[in-house]
Amino acid sequence: MSRLEARIPRELKRTLERAAAVTGHPTLTSFMIYSLQASARRAIEDHRQTKLTADESTSFVQALLAPAAPNVALRAAFERYSREAHAGA
């Protein structure tokens, strides 16, 4: 077990104690652990997911369905890759 301490305003502590009581947590500590854990999981999940607007989603799908033709730089990179891949084989 690890210990975590924080100094918070009295009013916030009263609010947290009330929230713990109304949600059925027997202690402020159990409420805090539950709340911090839920918030941490949500933050990690939000960070993991890429969220697009409707316009961005449409553009992304259109690019997948009808990709642009390769430009000169992309064709040159592919040729270099092909030469290097076959040289090592």
pLDDT tens figures, 13-61: 999 999 999 999 999 999 999 999 999 999 999 888 888 899 999 999 9
Q: Is the pLDDT assigned to residue 4 strictly greater than 70?
A: yes
Q: Alpha helices of the chain — where are they, by DSSP H?
A: 10-22, 28-48, 54-65, 72-87
pLDDT confidence of residue 89: 63
Q: How far apart are CA 83 and CA 89, in angstroms?
A: 10
- Give me 52's structure tokens: 């697009």
pTM (whole model) above 0.85: no
pLDDT confidence of residue 87: 82
